[in-house]
Amino acid sequence: MKAVAVTPGTPNSVHLKEIEKPTLDQVAGGLGVLVRVLKVGVDATDREINDALYGNAPEGDGHLVIGHESFGVVEAVGEHVKRVKVGDYVTATVRRPGGSIYDLIGTNDMTSEEEYYERGINLRHGYLTEYFVEEAEYIVRVPMGLKHLHVLMEPMSCAAKAVHQAYEAQQRMKVWRPQVAYVLGAGQIGLLTTLVLKLRGLEVYTLARGEAPNLKSEIVKGLEATYISTRETSWDDLVKQTGKPDLIVDATGSSRLAFEAMEHLGLNGVLVWTGITGGDNKSEVPTDKINLQWVLGNKLLLGSVNANRHHFEMGIKDLALGEMMYPEVLGKILTNPVDGLENYAEMMRLLVEDKDALKVFVNVADE
Ligand code: BGC
Ligand code: ZN
């Protein structure tokens, strides 16, 4: 069967590769699930892996099959699988356990080992192929009524985790009633985080560069949040208008903006960083000012990566509620389909060149 792979360490090595179709018996104990892949989403991580900024092949292999945002249909299950059945729509989590205590309790996303295993990213093959086999533990059912949002399940799990972690951490306050939140960036994570925060009842301001109206501002408006173009409104003007935010989630992929956000967080607030970049940018930061504000304001900076099955389930519930509250808004994120694995070059071109491509995904197979 066909798969889209890279040669880790070699820039721009994305290619089509013939690989073996996996079989159920590759998972012990009758717990395997064979998934026929329907769609796979790609994002900046795939672009940066193809740029050889990070990403490693599984031990013994020279290639890495990419793609970590999966959507498919169950084709066969092992005899002890209870969670899903043939014909169910499913997605799969990304990170696989290492050996730390966090991995042993199913929170692989919190591993305390330096080395981590992520399908399609690091040391494990991904989903940009025709079939994959996985242990039932890592397969998450997607409700039939959400199948039109297919590849959003994985990015949504990251948004769900980021917000959940913020609330968990803020239990330090005993009472925390956040009112104003800023979301930095209106890419897929920014928009999905906007939804999660709206569903928690916050007043949400989503900041992005482009001037409204544009597709991103339309989606933000559709979610009953407020879109702010940073070209039109400065940080200071926005803070004057809204008061300092209780919560800021950075999803820009710009480390400069992630640090800049530190100057604007409210007292007792939390800033969550979700974006990463494999780059090596440097910029000047007003360290005295931030140091003083953060100590005198009891502020918290939190990094959040990946998501475990619990966050996938939370995210899927929020997508379902989001569809009821704001019908047909979330589907607008799915802007750029590419037909067939063999069109991988077009997929990468969209990721690299098309700044308006909010979400690129591959239609791998029809139902
Ligand atoms: C993925 C996460 C992953 C992170 C770091 C993101 O693009 O969505 O699942 O943990 O990259 O590799
Ligand atoms: Zn991703």
Give the range among 74-83, 137-146, 237-246, 273-282 with minimum mean pLDDT.
273-282
Does the domain at 157-303 match CATH 3.40.50.720? Answer given as yes
Which ligand gives the minimal distance to the CA of 119? 1
Domain(s) labelled CATH 3.40.50.720 in the chain stretch across: 157-303
Class of domain 2-141+335-363: alpha beta
Domain(s) labelled CATH 3.90.180.10 in the chain stretch across: 2-141+335-363
What are the tokens at 41? Answer: 């989403």
Residue 83 pLDDT more than 90?
yes
Instruction: Give the residue, by CA position, lying nearest to ligand 1 atom 7.
Output: 45
Q: What is the pLDDT of residues 91-126, one digit of tens each?
A: 999 999 999 999 999 999 999 999 999 999 999 999
Q: Please check whether residue 183 is in contact with residue 246, taking contact to mean a CB–CB distance below 8 angstroms.
A: no
Mutate to test the pocket of ligand 1, among 54, 68, 114, 156 (most ligand atoms within 8 A of CB): 68
Residue 294: what pLDDT?
A: 98
Mutate to test the pocket of ligand 1, among 49, 94, 108 (most ligand atoms within 8 A of CB): 94
Distances (CA, A) of 358 to 189, 230, 263, 335: 10, 18, 28, 6
Rounded CA-CA distance 95/108 in Å is: 6
Which H/E stretch holds residue 303? Answer: strand 300-303
Rounded CA-CA distance 243/259 in Å is: 19
Neighbours of 354 (CB within 10 A): 12
Mutate to test the pocket of ligand 1, among 305, 311, 312 (most ligand atoms within 8 A of CB): 305
Instruction: Give the residue, by CA position, lying nearest to ligand 1 atom 1.
Output: 306
Q: What is the pLDDT of residues 250-295, one digit of tens each?
A: 999 999 999 999 999 999 999 999 998 878 899 999 999 999 999 9
Residue 277: what pLDDT?
A: 81
Rounded CA-CA distance 50/56 in Å is: 11
Closest ligand 1 atom to Cα of 305 = 10
Confidence of residue 324 (pLDDT cuts 50, 70, 90): very high
Calculate mean pLDDT across residues 219-239. 98
Q: For residue 167, give the nearest of 204, 122, 133, 197 by alpha carbon.
A: 197
What average pLDDT does the structure give for the chain? 97
What are the tokens at 354? Answer: 């098309």
Instruction: Give the residue, by CA position, lying nearest to ligand 1 atom 4.
Output: 306
Calculate mean pLDDT across residues 131-149. 98
Neighbours of 122 (CB within 10 A): 21
The Å distance, Cα 43 to ligand 2 centre, comes to: 6
Confidence of residue 168 (pLDDT cuts 50, 70, 90): very high
Instruction: Give the residue, by CA position, lying nearest to ligand 1 atom 6.
Output: 45
The Å distance, Cα 109 to ligand 1 centre, comes to: 10
Q: What is the pLDDT of residues 150-160, one digit of tens each?
A: 999 999 999 99
Confidence of residue 2 (pLDDT cuts 50, 70, 90): very high
Ligand 1 site, CB within 6 A: 43, 45, 68, 94, 118, 121, 154, 158, 305-306
Q: 152 — phi, psi (to 5°)?
A: -80, -10
Instruction: Give the residue, by CA position, lying nearest to ligand 1 atom 9.
Output: 306
Whether pTM exceeds 0.85? yes
Confidence of residue 5 (pLDDT cuts 50, 70, 90): very high
Distance of CA 33 to the CA centre of its chain: 23
